Amino acid sequence: MTFDEWVISRLIAHGLYTGRGDGAPGRAMSRGIEAFQKLNGLPVTGLANEATVDLLRQAPRNNSIVVGIPAKSVDIPPEPVWMREARRYMGLREIAGPKSNPTILGWAARLGGWVASFYKNDDTPWCGLAVAAWISVTLPREVIPSNPLGALNWSKFGRPLKVPSVGAILTFRREGGGHVGLYVGEDETHFHVLGGNQSNSVSITRIDKERLAAIRWPLTGGDPVGGRVDLSAYGEVSRNEA
């Protein structure tokens, strides 16, 4: 059982989950956590932090939390919720030619507004769309860029970080545009980035540190855990982000 599956199972036990039981850390989980935090006098963040998880372990009775035998749980993962959502799509690829991957188009439809009406083909760069989809579904109160499709627009998203941490939003310059993805770690010369539209897929790839434009963190994403993550220089260097 993953951490998110466990959280959802506990919210169901407390009668506070109305979404699908697919174990995905989406808006229903965030709303359930908010309701649980409100009910128990905790700061309302929508995030499964340590204080919330401690209370979720307790057995529900008469719609209140009482001391009881803790429900078995898994450890709180170091990766923030939007990065766990992103990992669910590892390997997803765009479809060459006139057809498009329905999942990618579904991200645009879910964002709504002009993005939904504009984005009709996955040949259009979708790294910013992917990050917008992952953040908006897991942090529903977060304000995303007005044009999330423009990768460098994410350079002013949320708040700045001086030092990257797992899940931080990194933006990069490239000839003819930009790129955006999530920080996994780094070696001496490259960042390891989980992102969309990396060789036409959701993948982890290495991107030259000299291309870095900004390091950002969601305002509603809690505090970063840890700092830089040192990794060996494994994996291919990114050569296709559009």
CA angle 227, 128, 210 (to 5 degrees): 50
Length reported for the chain: 242
CA separation for the pair 105, 219 (Å, rounded) = 27
Domain's final residue, options 24, 55, 77: 77
- Predicted confidence at residue 23, as pLDDT, reads 82
Whether 59 and 152 share a structural domain: no
Residue 65: domain span: 3-77
Domain's final residue, options 32, 54, 77: 77
CA separation for the pair 185, 73 (Å, rounded) = 27
- Predicted confidence at residue 74, as pLDDT, reads 76
Question: What residues of the chain score a pLDDT lower than 70?
Answer: 61-71, 73, 242
Number of domains forming the structure of the chain: 2
Whether 162 and 65 share a structural domain: no
Q: Write down the mean pLDDT value for the chain.
A: 92
Q: Report the CATH number at residue 135.
A: 3.90.1720
- Predicted confidence at residue 62, as pLDDT, reads 58
- Predicted confidence at residue 91, as pLDDT, reads 97
**Pairs from 5-11 (Cβ < 8 Å, separation ≥ 24):** 6/73, 6/74, 7/33, 7/48, 7/53, 7/56, 8/32, 10/56, 10/57, 10/71, 10/73, 11/36, 11/56
- Predicted confidence at residue 60, as pLDDT, reads 78
CA neighbor of 88 nearest in space, from 182, 158, 227 = 182
- Tell me the pLDDT tens digit for each residue of 79-123: 999 999 999 999 999 998 889 999 999 999 999 999 999 999 999
> What Rg, from alpha-carbon coordinates, does the chain have?
19
Whether 24 and 115 share a structural domain: no
Whether 136 and 176 share a structural domain: yes
- Predicted confidence at residue 167, as pLDDT, reads 98
- Predicted confidence at residue 160, as pLDDT, reads 98
Whether 9 and 73 share a structural domain: yes
